[in-house]
Amino acid sequence: MNLSKVVTSLLVLSFLILASFSIASAQSEQLEPSYEITLHVVIASNEGGGKTDLPPGLSVISKYLKGNFSFSNYRLANTFLGRVSNTGNVEYKSVSDILGQETDHESQTFLEWSFTNFRALQNGFQAKTFRFGARVPVRTGTMKDSSGVVNPVVNYESVGLNTYMIGLPANTPTLVGTISLPKATGTIFLVATVKNAEM
């Protein structure tokens, strides 16, 4: 066999090897499935009569809360949505009015929540950590300025919940924790639902 045929054979062989690596790489880089995490923030209190203002999808949680807690009023304060793939993280930070109280621009509530190292398992989902935190404005008094105008004194109180290694069933609203409200008789209930993302 002459030298030119050997070189041609080696070039063809190299091309075939590179092509097979490219095909294998393209197959291994297929888009992983995504999951949708919905976090419902429910606030319970004994103010406003005995009404429950929760969506139909939370009916099981509503029955559980009414059967295990002594509040007369339950309302959905907010719903948050995050999308994540296997072993990913969801982190959310924003200004929010989860308490439903009148606030001005100088006394907003700062809210953050996260799921880290989220994993899809055979019978549900698991996250290494779930964190929910809020810095809530609390009016602690008043103070007169130099012109005699009375202004409120607002301090921020931190409330929150940290959970390490949490498991969640698929497609089922699940109570993940409670937080007492500062300077109030109410409680925040955190309800998470995880399902396959449809879009």
Instruction: State whether 176 and 146 are in the same domain.
Output: yes
> How many Å apart are CA 78 and CA 155, to the nearest integer?
23
| 3-state SS, residue 176 | strand
> How many Å apart are CA 88 and CA 23, to the nearest integer?
26
The domain tally of the chain equals: 2
Q: Quick one: how far is CA 128 from the chain centroid?
A: 13
**73-131 pLDDT, tens per residue?**
888 988 999 999 999 999 998 887 765 554 555 567 888 999 999 999 988 999 999 99
Which of the 8 DSSP states describes residue 181? Answer: P
Instruction: State whether 22 and 52 are in the same domain.
Output: no
In terms of residue numbers, what domain contains 39?
Answer: 32-196
User: Which residue did the predictor score with more confidence, 4 or 111?
Assistant: 111
Instruction: State whether 23 and 104 are in the same domain.
Output: no
Lowest mean pLDDT among 53-67, 86-100, 125-139, 152-166: 86-100
Instruction: State whether 11 and 45 are in the same domain.
Output: no
Instruction: State whether 190 and 103 are in the same domain.
Output: yes
Instruction: State whether 159 and 71 are in the same domain.
Output: yes
Joined tokens for residue 18? 């590179």
Instruction: State whether 75 and 6 are in the same domain.
Output: no
Q: What average pLDDT is seen over the chain?
A: 81
> How many Å apart are CA 149 and CA 11, to the nearest integer?
87
**176-188 pLDDT, tens per residue?**
999 887 666 788 9
Query: What's the average model confidence in pLDDT over 42-71?
Result: 85
Q: Is the pLDDT of residue 139 over 80?
A: no
Joined tokens for residue 117? 């190292």
Joined tokens for residue 151? 């202004």
Instruction: State whether 84 and 14 are in the same domain.
Output: no
Please answer whether residues 155 and 166 qualify as being in contact, where contact means their C-beta atoms are separated by less than 8 angstroms.
no
pLDDT at residue 2, rounded to an integer: 62
Query: What's the average model confidence in pLDDT over 30-36?
Result: 84
Instruction: State whether 182 and 105 are in the same domain.
Output: yes
State the pLDDT confidence band at 168, using cuts at 50, 70 and 90: very high
Picking from 188, 167, 164, 186, the residue whose alpha carbon sits closest to that of residue 177 is 188
Instruction: State whether 87 and 123 are in the same domain.
Output: yes
Residue that has been written with the tokens 């930070």 in this structure: 93
Alpha helices in the chain, H assignment, sequence order = 3-28, 59-68
Instruction: State whether 25 and 41 are in the same domain.
Output: no
State the pLDDT confidence band at 33, using cuts at 50, 70 and 90: confident
State the pLDDT confidence band at 25, using cuts at 50, 70 and 90: low
| 3-state SS, residue 58 | helix
User: Which residue did the predictor score with more confidence, 10 or 166?
Assistant: 166
Picking from 124, 139, 137, the residue whose alpha carbon sits closest to that of residue 172 is 124
> How many Å apart are CA 77 and CA 54, to the nearest integer?
9
pLDDT at residue 7, rounded to an integer: 47
Lowest mean pLDDT among 45-54, 124-133, 142-151: 45-54
From residue 118, give the alpha-carbon distance in Å to each of 34, 91, 126, 148.
11, 11, 6, 54
Instruction: State whether 118 and 22 are in the same domain.
Output: no
Picking from 140, 116, 139, 143, the residue whose alpha carbon sits closest to that of residue 127 is 116
User: Which residue did the predictor score with more confidence, 84 or 155?
Assistant: 84
